[in-house]
Amino acid sequence: MRAAWSIFTVLLSTVLVFTAIQSLPGDTASRILGQNATPEAVATVRLQLGLDEPALSRFLSWLGGAAHGDFGTSLVSGRSVGEEVGGALVNTLLLASITIAIGVTIALVLGMVSGLMRDKKPDVIISTLALIGMSIPEFVVATLLVLVFSIYIPLFPAVVLAGQEATIAELLPSVWLPAAALICVLSAYVIRMMRTSVIDVAESEYVRTAVLKGNSTARIVFKHVLPSAMPPTLNVIAMNIAWLIGGVVVVESIFNYPGIGTLMIRSVQTQDLPTILLITVLSAFTFVICNLLADLGAFMLNPRLRYPRSAV
Amino acid sequence: MTVAEASVQTRSRAFPRLVRSIARSPTACVGFGLIFLHVLLALAAPLLSPYDPIANDAMATLSNPTGAHPLGTDALGRDILSRTLYGGQYALVVSLVATTLAVLLGSIIAGIAAFKGGIVDDVITRVLDSVLAVPAILALLVVITIFGSGPQIIILAVVIVFTGGVTRIVRAAVMDVLPNDYITAARARGEGMFSILVREVFPNVLDIILVEFAMRASWVMLLISSLSFLGFGANPPTPDWGLMVAENRNLLSIAPWATLAPIVALATLIVGLNLAADGLSKSLGVDRMKDVLG
Amino acid sequence: MNNAETAPVVHIDDLSVSYLAGGRQVDVLKNVTLRVQSGHILGVVGESGSGKSTLAGTLLGSLRSTSFISNGSVTVAGHDVFALDPKALRQFRIEHVALVPQNAGNALTPTMKIGEQISEVLHSRKGDKKAQRARALELLELVRLPNPAAALDRYPHQFSGGQQQRIGIAVALASDPTVLVLDEPTTGLDVVTQTAVLGLLGDLQQTLKVSMIMVSHDLGVIDRMCTHVAVLHDGELVEFGPTREVLASPVHEYTRGLISSVPRIDRPGIPPAAEHDTLVQRMPPAQSVPVLTVTDLTIDYRRKPTPGSGPTVQGVNLTVNAGEVVALVGESGSGKSTIANAIAGLQKIERGSITLNGGDDLSSTVAKRSKPLRQAVQLIFQNADTSLNPRKSVGAAIQRPISLFGIEGATAQRALTEVHLPESYSERLPGQLSGGQRQRVGIARAIAAAPSLVLADEIVSALDVSVQSSILRLVDDMSRDKDIGFLFITHDLAVVRAIADRVVVLYLGRIVEEGSVAEVFSEHSHPYTRLLLECVIELGGDHSTAPDGAADEIPSAPPEAGCAFASRCPIVRDVCRTETPPTIQVSPSHSIECHAHPSELGGASAILHDQRIQL
Amino acid sequence: MAGLPDTQNFGFSRRQMLVGGALAMFVPALLSGCATAADPNTIGAPREGAAKAGGTLRIARPPASASETLDPASSLCAYEYLGALYSRLVSLSPTGELVPDLAESWDQSADAMTWTFNLRSDVGWHDGSSFTANDVVYTIQHILDEATASPQAGVLSPFVDGNAITAPTMHTVVFQLTSPNAEFASLLAGYNCYIIPAGSAGTITTSGIGTGPFKLASFSPAGPGAVVRNEAYFGQAPVLDAIEFSSIADTQGRVNALLADQVDFIAQTNLDFATASTVLASSLATVSSVKNAQWYPVPMLNSSAEFSEPDIRRALCHAYDPELVAKLATQGNSTIAHNNPVPPSEAYYLDYGLEYDPDKSKSLLKGQGLSSLDLSIYTSTYDPLLTPTALALQGSMKDANINLTVENASADSYYTDVWMKKPLMTTYWYTGRPIDQLLNQIFRSGSSYNETAYSNPVFDQTLDAARATVDQAQRKTLYQDAQKILIDDGGSLTPFFADRLTGLSSKVTNYSENGFEFDYINIGFGES
């Protein structure tokens, strides 16, 4: 049921974007051909692209292709959209996975410390940092990081010189600064959620009971608090990963990172519909998958979901 | 009692309550203080600004901070202080109008969805989920590409992008209120949906809506500045903070204030909004982190 | 460390607990001095806000984060609890004291298996998984948890409330505590379950000889369980002594008032709410003019019929006459509120008819009802906190039905006066009122619409006994003065005895018995009614013979056919599981739905006479 | 976004077109004397002197499009590779003379209708095969082929017939023109005219096989690539071992790469003065300047309602203070144009223009019944000077009661949605095209790059007459007549010619720009 709804969500968002792009002024065919296009040439290109068919049938035929893994051809580069977006996706996934792996780990630890030491010094420091992280846009963080860690102290590359086909080994040295910029923003929310969640759970009756049972602090934290504090945090992490795409656009453009964000801006500007559609599908898919994963995580952590109540 | 009476009563009570809530929380005090300061500075910008924010001065380009230009000038000789002060007007107006519209629309949709339930709720929820599934930045870029840039378009784009999230949160809050017996009593009296929403439900989710507003406003501000930075937002020579950063970031080493001033302004305003949201949610007893899920 | 019988195991000395509010020190406990001898059971009784739970917490060295000890000390098993450093406090908690919390459902960690939650307390068997498991199993057997071996690997939510409470007790006992602190251990449980849990606790105390401190608001429970009682009022200890002595001859006037406010089955009438009140005997209306007639009401929550279960509510017939208070009684899940919602038009009905004043049709939902019909049926709710819009003034809340229905001559002020609240309260917000006052406003709002029928859903169950009495008096007044028919929904038989004219007993959405209060409480009764009556813990009763709590669980859904009570019935026969029970008309005003021969149904009064000693 | 790639949506890539006619009139890199720069000793003075042999030069460039190609004739060619990979028949010396490249010598008939080129016989392609006259014939035919859609086709096709190119010997090519053209040879120095192997149209897009000083090592469209030294190069051997290219869309990103020492040279990035100051502030990098390398017109679309009236166009030309605008937009790194699009260095330059005169501007408006004028001016981050120019004009025109609203358009669609569509916008061209090409291509009625939609039969006739005139002095008079018509008729608002500021590593030595191209042979790294 969840899966069906998820697919529906992905489809609907694709329809929305498709409709929106359809309403763009100007005709893709004449854009491709440029100023001096003759009406005959425009007509020919329209025919080639199938632009003279009604929007619905074009969408359906795109959908038919998509179902078989054929997402069409980029109107700009003439390459297979699948290949082009795929290449960018792999790069963005590298950036995202590093960001998530480091960011989430740091955030969970800091959030936990903050929540457990509520209103004490470490909490105040961590909470303030998180607040600042939430309040400074990615482009500022990225700009400052470049200035400090590439130009003043040349530790990391300022931009990515490798192209879309770069191997992971080639990209790896350049991935740290963009990742750091994203981590700053991503972890702020996760820290806060983890803190709130830990505080909530720590105030619960069962944690009080666990304390009164004479349990050690470590046992209370890891056995009684964390399993219940995690699911809401997982949700926030899921939402943040979906949001990461927004930050990725800005950060990738600053670092010349050959990923989905760069491709997204370019294809919106050139109204490269097939590329935009595939990016939309992927983003919506990410959104849905992240939510499903968070639910799955909550399911694994929460026995109430794992074992629906039944008579004993 | 008429609707007007009811709302007057609600308002007359809600307002001092809100003020008390703010006063109770030091966090909220600082937050609202920062916001108030920004509003004040933005309103007083014409009085405080030493120069026209868009006036070029060929004789004073890239000036260092001096008595004449306390924060220096940019590459066109425009006074950074004046531009930063006026920048608040643009940031506040655009993001507050956009947020207000998004929160209002989202709350109404949320009220209807939660109250009607069943298929209406399902459809609304699913459609909004789909909007949420499209990354905000992509949606914004598409809207701006379709309609062009300009404040109205940005407001429209933000409303489209943020209404779904607001709806999600407010809907959950309304769902929490609906099972209350006073709603049951109103239903049993045979009151209509809008009457119940206006009289009984919204006054009780006002806290959440307020916190939501402060939080969204901070996001909207971040997003708008990012758009300006990417070149999709304000047109030059509009004194917009994001645009100022984009224009001057290459000069960080020679004219740092041209970049730092708008950053500081933007960051303090957003910190203010966040603190206000924090403080409000604490003293109004709203679980703010729920918002993040929207 | 077992102390001698004579030495007090708990020694609370001149204890004051306070917190700071706006720079002012507020005392939660004021100079309380108490002693508990080893093996004794001390009951701590008081109304909400009396500080009884705070007192319980101090025994474990636990205070709310904002509170502090402003005076005195607590010594348990020879340790000055608040002088212990964190490490020693931990050790103290491991060795000497354990808590059975009010709601074990909240107090058991939801993400941990039961076995582990017990094992983590078994510090002496640390590292030996097998021994821990064996001991855990033993403990679960000790608390009579069904199927204990399987239970070890289950999670808390997989158990019912009563079972969770048993598990909570097992966890508390696991560390062999010197002192067991029980904080309202049975509040929130249905009467049958409560009886079973209390029975278990009594037995355990007998075998383990553990000292107990039991906090409760329920004098009946204290009476049944405790050797000694401490009465707390407003943070002060007003009376302390052996239970029987205190209850039989209370010295302090607060204690006297408290005791006299408790409604009792064996003493019909509404108990006094204030010091100079007397017992009010309820007088049924002289004439029978039906305001509400429910015929063959069937409500089905299920989307489609599931094999093995029947509709949520089936074949319910009931009548409420003008000026009459009819009690609808049953455990949680019996469908009481569902029926009320159907009458209020908030719940679609599957079959049957509901008519008002002998003619007007109430079968449709509220949206389709005419204004006069909506006006004629009003609701009062259980939870005064949620029944009033916290953002709306009291006056506005009462005014709304008056304006909506255009009640001439009615004002919010007058309605407030009628429920004995000052007119000036109309400006207040619900948050500024006490629970009892809020409930009065709820009544005023219902009465202001000038209804002919009021549906009162558990309106006194959340209130302290003295407030409860005053509300009951108000209901009594309203029904008589305004000739309003009340459908009074409750699970509390003592309240029924106090206020109701007639009783309808509901089990899993089916009526099992109906009759006048006197008849249902004193003559032949349905086995279920009998079970309920047996489980009522009366103040001053002889608590030596408690019913067996083995079948204390109510099934989750009614059966498809036969008698709904068959699964728990002590006199069940084969026919009960297949055939709908016939109606036994005991008298013109008293009927029982049962397959048993009337003689088997005995007399409820006989039970009362045989097993209970009049106070 | 700044510097994002052009796209194929734009039929003839603007970027390529800007340099399409980098011909004889090219102004050589002025390596000194940029008086108004913040530090005259630094700007415009790249290192000179002995370069150590070898090294790999790292170049950051803006990607032209996701569908870049190595076909020199294409409008989407990745032009930074061309000079390294290919050779032309003839090329331009730093002093602007036509010098031999693949052609050892050339001749023209008396009527300038027949041109004969004698080719080198010692040249080999990178794949080892020999270069012959057939390759030349094929290349020119490929350029003229409509399917190629080469920007150079429009320049050559009026007088070159593809079927009238012959190769009498293996190393001789003869062009039989359809109409006389005395400057035909110089038109073959355009970078679209790099010679490719015969029959390679299908493969040249990625193979990059040429006869140039470097061989292709790798290439990906809008991505990184590299070339390595061609040991078999027929000319002077290059200093460098290899050149690595990377694509960076964001201008600031390219500058950052330079400052972080990730690249040695940022191609096609005209730094604004402020950025140049930032670059100069770094010990790693420096800035080179090319005098008057770009001109910044503000075309007024004659076909629009706003500018159909010549007096209005004139009013705008008189309305701004060029000194002020030039100072603001370029910090003085420019030459005032007085609304004449022909650069002062042009041999046929007419020293005439419309001067700053706000009163005249107002009276011209008044003549049209206007007391003030509200207009939108479009700009973009495509080039760093466009927005400052627009803002400077906005400020300066206020005194003449002309109120400009600056509209920022997306850089990527700027030349599709704004250029030649919006009535008023800022744009730029590279200087260095011959005056004939300049005036014909950009101002003649109906010409494809007529960005002002200017149409004046008298102007067109004057241009035709000039072309047909053999006598140089007479021709000069005619071209100057044309300039006068153009200026007075108010076709183009041209505030200034700007110097191009290029950022490069301070390790780089012997950098010299040749119009839109730089010298691949001598550039190298200093001795430390």
Contact B273, B35 (CB under 8 A): yes
Per the CB < 8 Å rule, is B251 touching D252? Answer: no
- Compute the Cα dihedral for B56, B60, B65, B67 and give only its sign: negative
> What is the model's pLDDT at position D7?
29
Specify if B55 maps to a domain: no
- 3-state DSSP call for residue C513? strand
Question: How many angstroms away from the CA of A207 is the closest CA of chain C?
Answer: 7
Which positions in chain C touch B1 (Cβ < 8 Å)? 396, 399-400, 403
Domain with CATH 3.40.50.300 in chain C: 8-260, 290-602
B251 interfacial to chain C (CB closer than 8 Å): no
- Smallest CA–CA distance, residue D446 to chain A, in Å, is 11
Confidence grade of residue C3 (pLDDT, cut at 50, 70, 90):
very low
Q: Are D249 and D5 in contact (CB under 8 A)?
A: yes
CB contact under 8 A, B189 and C397: no
Inter-chain residue contact D252 with B237, CB threshold 8 Å: no
Distances in Å between the Cα of B26 and the Cα atoms of B207, B208, B276 are: 18, 19, 10
Peptide bond into C156 cis (omega under 30): no
D252–B75 C-beta distance less than 8 A: no
Contact D406 B253 (CB under 8 A): no
The answer to whether residue B103 sits within a structural domain is yes
B143–chain A Cβ distance below 8 A for any pair: yes
What residues of chain B lie within 8 A of the CB of D391, using their CB?
54, 56, 76, 236-237
Minimal Cβ distance to A134: which of B141, B142, B274: B274
Angle B107-B112-B115 (CA atoms, 0-180°, nearest 5)? Answer: 115
Element of type H or E holding D107: strand D103-108
* Mean pLDDT across B271-292: 68
Distance from CA of C57 to the nearest CA of A (A): 10
Residues 6+ positions from C389 with CB-CB distance below 8 Å: B180, B182, B199, B200, B203, B204, C397, C430
Write out pLDDT tens, residues B166-181. 888 888 888 888 888 8
Topology annotation, domain C290-602: Rossmann fold (3.40.50)
Q: Mean pLDDT, chain C, as a whole number?
A: 84
B142 DSSP 8-state letter: H
The pair of structure tokens assigned to C29 is 């406990």
Digitized pLDDT (tens) for each residue of chain A, 312 residues in all: 667 777 777 778 778 777 777 665 555 555 555 444 455 555 666 666 666 666 777 777 777 777 777 777 777 667 788 888 888 888 888 888 898 899 889 989 998 898 888 888 888 899 888 888 888 888 888 888 888 888 888 888 888 877 777 777 778 888 888 899 888 888 888 888 888 888 888 888 888 888 888 888 888 888 888 888 888 788 778 877 777 777 788 888 888 888 888 888 878 777 777 788 888 888 888 888 888 888 888 788 878 777 765 433
Please state, in angstroms and rounded to a whole number, the distance separating the CA atoms of residues B52 and A162: 44
Confidence of residue D27 (pLDDT cuts 50, 70, 90): very low
CA distances from D363 to A157, D299, D305, D353, D373 (A): 57, 22, 20, 18, 12
Cα dihedral D205/D206/D207/D213 (nearest 10) = 90
Is B18 contained in some domain?
no
The two tokens of residue A86 are 């795929």
Residues of B in contact with C382 (CB under 8 A): 181
Please check the confidence at residue C89 and state whether its pLDDT lies above 60.
yes
Q: Decide if pLDDT at D39 tops 60.
A: no
Structure token pair of residue D62: 């803006």
Q: Please check whether residue B204 touches C, CB under 8 A.
A: yes
> Cβ contact (<8 Å) for C386 and B199?
no
Cα A262 versus chain centre, distance = 14
Over the stretch D183-212, which tens digit does the pLDDT of each residue have?
A: 788 778 877 889 999 888 888 888 989 999
Instruction: Kindly state the percentage of chain C with pLDDT values over 70.
Output: 93
Task: Say if the Cβ atoms of C388 and B182 lie within 8 Å.
Answer: yes
- A/C interface, count of CB pairs below 8 Å: 88
- Contacts made by residues A47-54, CB under 8 angstroms, sequence distance 24+: A49/A75, A51/A27
Q: Between B256-284 and B26-43, two packed helices, what is the crossing angle to 10 degrees?
A: 140
Quick one: angle between helices A81-116 and A176-202, nearest 10? 40
Model pLDDT, residue D235: 87
**Distance separating alpha carbons of residues D178 and D144, to the nearest angstrom:** 14
For residue C344, the chain B residue with the least C-alpha distance is B188
Q: Which residues in chain C have their CB less than 8 angstroms from residue B180's CB? A: 386-387, 389
Q: Residue B190 sits in a domain of what CATH number?
A: 1.10.3720.10
DSSP H helices in D86-198: 133-144, 151-156, 184-187
As a dihedral over the C-alpha atoms of residue A250, residue A254, residue A255, residue A257, rounded to 10 degrees, the angle is 50
Q: ipTM strictly over 0.90?
A: no
- How far is CA D313 from each of CA B101, D336, D339, D356, D365, rounded to the nearest angstrom? 44, 18, 11, 13, 10
pLDDT at D126: 92
Identify the CA nearest to C64 among candidates A203, B13, B71: A203
pLDDT digits (tens, 9 = 90+) for C244-301: 888 888 888 888 888 888 888 877 788 887 766 778 888 888 888 889 999 999 988 7
A213-222, D105-114, D438-447: range with lowest mean pLDDT = D438-447
Q: CB C155 to CB A310 under 8 A?
A: no
**pLDDT tops 90 at residue C368:** no
Strand bridging mode D225-229 / D214-219: antiparallel
**Closest residue in B to A231 (Cα–Cα):** B293
Question: How many domains is chain B built from?
Answer: 1
Residues of A whose CB is below 8 A from D65: 76-77
Does residue B140 belong to any structural domain of this protein? yes
Of B145, B230, B236, the CB nearest to D1: B230
Under a CB-based contact definition with an 8 Å cutoff, are residues D71 and D196 in contact? yes
pLDDT exceeds cutoff 60 at D41:
no
Asked if A touches D (at least 3 Cβ pairs < 8 angstroms), the answer reads yes
Inter-chain CB proximity C108 and A301 less than 8 Å: no
3-state helix, strand, coil in chain D (%, to 5): 30, 25, 50
Measured distance CA(C10)–CA(D146) in Å, rounded = 104
Residue B105, pLDDT score: 92
Mutation target to probe the A interface, by most A beta carbons within 10 A, among B122, B134, B264 is B134
> Across the interface, which of A161, A164, A269 has its CB nearest the CB of D257?
A161
Query: Are A16 and B131 within 8 A, CB to CB?
Result: yes
Cross-chain CB nearest to D277 (options B76, B77, B254): B254
Report helix, strand or coil for C198: helix
- Of chain B, the end-to-end C-alpha distance in Å amounts to 36
Per DSSP, D74 falls in state S
Cα–Cα distance between A140 and B153 in angstroms, integer? 24
Q: At D156, is the secondary structure helix, strand, or coil?
A: helix
Q: Per-residue pLDDT tens for C319-355? A: 999 999 999 998 877 888 889 888 988 888 888 889 8
State the chains in contact with A (3 or more Cβ–Cβ pairs under 8 Å). Answer: B, C, D
B198: Cα within 13 Å, side-chain hemisphere: 13
Instruction: Give the 3-state secondary structure of residue C389.
Output: coil
pLDDT at D174 over 90: yes
Model pLDDT, residue D499: 84
Q: Under the phi-then-psi rule, with left for phi > 0, alpha for psi from -120 to 50, and beta for the rest, what region is B231?
A: left
Which of the residues D8, D269, D417 would you substitute to probe the A interface, choosing the one with the greatest number of A C-beta atoms within 10 Å?
Answer: D8
Nearest to C393 among B9, B184, B186 (CB): B9
Secondary structure (3-state) at A75: coil
Band of the pLDDT at C436, cuts 50, 70, 90? confident
Given A154, A165, A254, which is nearest D223 (Cβ)?
Answer: A165
pLDDT confidence of C455, banded at 50, 70, 90? very high
Q: Which among D255, D394, D406 has CB closest to B250? A: D255
Q: What is the DSSP letter of D300?
A: B
- Check pLDDT > 70 for residue D410: no
- C-beta atoms surrounding A25 within 10 Å: 10
Query: Measured between beta carbons, which residues in chain A are less than 8 angstroms from residue C308?
Result: none
CATH architecture of C8-260: 3-Layer(aba) Sandwich (3.40)
- Domain of B160, in residue numbers: 38-45+99-293
Confidence of residue D221 (pLDDT cuts 50, 70, 90): confident
Could you tell me if B188 lies within 8 Å of chain C, comparing CB atoms? yes
Tell if the CB–CB gap between B131 and A131 is shorter than 8 Å: no
Nearest residue on chain B to A139, alpha-carbon basis: B226
CB-based touch B/C (3+ pairs, under 8 A): yes
Searching chain C, which residue's CA lies closest to the CA of residue A312? C159
| D119-153 confidence digits (pLDDT tens) | 998 899 999 899 999 999 999 999 888 888 777 77
The number of C-beta contacts closer than 8 angstroms across A and D is: 121
* Local confidence band at B1 (pLDDT 50, 70, 90 cut-offs): very low
Instruction: Tell me the residue type at A91.
Output: N
Q: How far is CA C270 from CA C474, C496, D198, in A?
A: 11, 10, 113
**Interchain proximity B138–A189, CB inside 8 Å:** no
Q: Tell me, letter by letter, the H, E, C secondary structure of A83-144.
A: HHHHHHHHHHHHHHHHHHHHHHHHHHHHHHHHHHCCCCHHHHHHHHHHHHHHHCCHHHHHHH
Query: Is D514's pLDDT higher than 70?
Result: no
Give pLDDT, residue D491.
66
Which candidate in D42, D269, D277, D386 is best for mutational testing of the B interface (most B CBs within 10 A)?
Answer: D277
* pLDDT tens per residue, range B205-256: 887 787 778 778 888 888 888 888 877 777 777 788 888 888 887 777 777 8
Query: What are chain B's partners, defined as 3 or more CB pairs within 8 angstroms?
Result: A, C, D
